[in-house]
Structure 1
Amino acid sequence: MTLPFDYAIRNLGRRRTRTLLTALSSALVAALLVATTAFVRGLEGTFSGAASPDTVLLLSVSSERDVVRSTTQAGLASLVRASVPGVLAASDEIHMGTSIGLDGGARVAAGFVRGVTPSAYEVHDALTLVEGRLPGPGEVIAGRLVARQLGASEAELAVGASIVLEGAVHEVVGRFVAPGTTLEAEIWTPLEPLRGLAQRDDSSVVFAKLADDVALRRLELFCDRRLDLELDLVTSDEYYGELVAYFVPIRRMAHALAAMIAIAALLGGANTAAASVNDRIRELAMLRAVGYGRFQVVRSMLTEFLLLGATGGVIGLVLAELFLTGGAVRLAMSAFELEVDAHAVVVGFVGAIGLSVAGVVPAAIRLARLPIAAALAED
């Protein structure tokens, strides 16, 4: 004999409060698993996506591969292009964290500014200007995530708005996107005016785009020969790979948080399933007595919790879609977008269902082993 499928469905409506709470716990688990996965994948994708196999960085040896601490000779990009065949483009740049004045200087936030020359747009080909134009002296362009990184409104960074940078008012004349990179949380402005405002006579780094591996070896030879420049050549794959490794502890904390959530949900599900069996022990034993086998009764119980887990999982995915899609996370002077993709959705939904089913296993084992006579005698 086989228990009808609607028996499991009717049981869900008999204890509505417990059903609702169990479904909501599954929804919470699904939403939090999606959020954790989206955070980790967004963090990894932003830094790894910024790497380009044909691009290298020239930093000062003493900088320990930190572009903000690095200082290179002004005009180094022109020297590199003239001295090394196969360098397609080279960009002198200043990278600096500084205070950004918003609302006419009434409010200040910490932001990341990059001083660039026209060559930068040849090297960083992931950047696309989507609004306005390229900046001139006293002007800036802002990445898509700058407003969220600064904790400002989009209107404060819109084209035509003004910000205060190094004590001088700058007009925002353009907006750009660079999907999957750290550039979207940056403000770009012409190099020479920024150098004057920052009272610097050097640059931070040179980004160079190379034609092939032969050009890379030539550039390495150039750095080895020009000891007076004290240069450290790093490929962009290596540089951004080190940044990803730097954030490994944060990713581990996110995974630990997800694991704690899963364990709490598993224990809660097991407790709920045990209470459900105890409340209905005589009813379930009666089903056994009238001819339904252990497997059929246990399967019906598993079906109930599978339905609850699936319903809660769908609710959790809807909540994640509403509140996480398009969201960004601020991280120091950068920001990255949460990546709610198919992978995150699968993790959230499968996690909610899996934990619901796993939680009912101890109660199902007890139910299968319990003698019918002893179960009928229980109060």
Structure 2
Amino acid sequence: MLLPWDYGVRNLARRPVRTALTLVALATVVMLVFVVVGFIRGLERSLAVSGDENVVLVYSVNSEENIENSSIAARSPSLLTASVEGTVKRFGVTHVSPELYLGTRVKTESGEGGLGLVRGVTLSAPLVRRSVQIVEGDWPSDGEVLVGRLAAAKLGSSDESVRIGKTLEFEGRQWTVSGRFAAGGAAYESEIWCRLGDFQTATKRQDLSLVAMLLSPSGSAAEVALFCKERTDLELRAIRETDYYGSLQRHYRPVRLLAWFVVVLVSAAGIFAGLNMMYGAVAGRVREIATLQAIGFRRRAILISLIQEGVLLAAAASLLSGVISLTVLNGMAVRFTMGAFTLRIDSAAILIGCGVGLLLGVVGALPPALKALRAEVATSLKAV
């Protein structure tokens, strides 16, 4: 025969201080799990949605995977459009975007700032970067910039510092913010865009970093790659944008593995903390447990009741942490080497976080409960 369900609930209410402390401890552990898993899921999603399978990136063969170090001739876009067929062309406009992409120091009006990602673009950039949408303001004119939704997070400054009309300083010039854009969570959201000609003048460069080409269904990325191999004098390489961001996923794989290892460490620390608190809780109930055995309850029934208490506490802690994570952590911007992205508390993160919480409740309650039940009933009844 099992103990009544409400017996475990009443036990938790009889020790409000200890119950509250245990709840806070478990909620803190589960919250850390949510933060780390949200970090992993946010990084993976940012890289996953950044690529467009119809876009081919052409950049310097010597830059390997780092486009910021790429330098190609300014005539490369015209050579590519003249030599390669299959590029989208509508209303006489070829969907090819020449770009200059650099990491540089950016300072706001308040003196804040840090390393920002600046991309010099032309009016054809939104035609190729189809996920980009201006959500506020206008396209930049001379001396103006368009800032991404997460540009402030990348700079380590506040959103107020990159509002429309504010001034940014980089490459020895003052730039006025003309608008803000979003890109559905893509990596572009942490960038600052300005006119290509202005940026080339400011950096005293006439070259480009890359050319982005939007291919039609009849176009072939292999044809672009073949052209780059044949024109060895240009020292170009071509790669689908999805493959490029896929390589970044592989590059950041050790970071993700380290984050999962942190999840395991945090969970292990939480289990040990739960063990410690449950040992203390059970140690003060030795006579109660012995009395239950003396009046006829089996050890299995008492064990289930003790585990029930631990699981109830862990479930409450998981729910509390889940609510806080969804309302506070979800969507919080995080600065990273590749730019910035948002923590993502999705269904997978909720499942992992709550699963770890319930595991803490079971594993934390089991060893101390077993230890208490192994003691002799007569000896336990005499315990103080």
TM-score w.r.t. structure 2 length?
0.93
Which piece of structure 1 moves more, 351-360 or 14-23? 14-23
Tell me the SS of whatever aligns to 1:74. coil
- Report whether the alignment pairs 1:332 with 2:318: no
- Are 1:86 and 1:211, in contact at CA under 8 Å, matched by a contact in 2? yes
The one-letter code sitting in structure 2 at the alignment partner of 1:100 is: V
Q: Where does residue 101 of structure 1 map in the other structure? A: 107
Q: Where does residue 41 of structure 1 map in the other structure? A: 41
Tell me the SS of whatever aligns to 2:52. coil
The one-letter code sitting in structure 2 at the alignment partner of 1:49 is: V
Q: Where does residue 310 of structure 1 map in the other structure? A: 315
- Report whether the alignment pairs 1:257 with 2:262: yes
Q: Distance in 1 between matches of 2:144 and 2:378?
A: 85
Q: Where does residue 288 of structure 1 map in the other structure? A: 293
Aligned residue pair count: 378
Tell me the SS of whatever aligns to 2:67. coil
The one-letter code sitting in structure 2 at the alignment partner of 1:233 is: A
The one-letter code sitting in structure 2 at the alignment partner of 1:365 is: L
- Are 1:98 and 1:111, in contact at CA under 8 Å, matched by a contact in 2? yes
Change (3 A) 1:366 1:7: same
Q: Where does residue 266 of structure 1 map in the other structure? A: 271
- Offset of 1:369 from its aligned partner? 3.8
Q: Distance in 2 between matches of 1:256 and 1:186?
A: 30
Match of 1:124 among 129, 142, 160: 129
Q: Distance in 2 between matches of 1:25 and 1:358?
A: 15
- Offset of 1:145 from its aligned partner? 0.7
- Are 1:101 and 1:163, in contact at CA under 8 Å, matched by a contact in 2? yes
Q: Distance in 2 between matches of 1:221 and 1:255?
A: 40
Change (3 A) 1:108 1:23: closer
Tell me the SS of whatever aligns to 2:260. helix
- Offset of 1:41 from its aligned partner? 0.6
- Offset of 1:107 from its aligned partner? 4.5
Q: Distance in 2 between matches of 1:13 and 1:217?
A: 69
Alignment of 1:194-273 (within 5 A): 194-212=199-217, 214-273=219-278
Which piece of structure 1 moves more, 361-370 or 5-14? 361-370
Q: Deviations over 1:18-56 (max 9, x none)?
A: 211111111111211111111011111111211111111
- Are 2:289 and 2:373, in contact at CA under 8 Å, matched by a contact in 1? no
- Report whether the alignment pairs 1:68 with 2:78: no
Q: Deviations over 1:52-101 (max 9, x none)?
A: 11111111111112111111110322221221110122211000011223
* Percent of residue pairs bearing the same amino acid type: 36
- Are 1:23 and 1:311, in contact at CA under 8 Å, matched by a contact in 2? yes
- Offset of 1:326 from its aligned partner? 2.7
TM-score w.r.t. structure 1 length?
0.94
Tell me the SS of whatever aligns to 2:323. helix
Q: Where does residue 345 of structure 1 map in the other structure? A: 350
Which piece of structure 1 moves more, 276-285 or 196-205? 276-285
Tell me the SS of whatever aligns to 1:312. helix
- Are 1:149 and 1:333, in contact at CA under 8 Å, matched by a contact in 2? no
Alignment of 1:161-176 (within 5 A): 161-176=166-181
Q: Distance in 1 between matches of 2:239 and 2:122?
A: 21
Q: Where does residue 363 of structure 1 map in the other structure? A: 368
Q: Distance in 1 between matches of 2:127 and 2:219?
A: 20
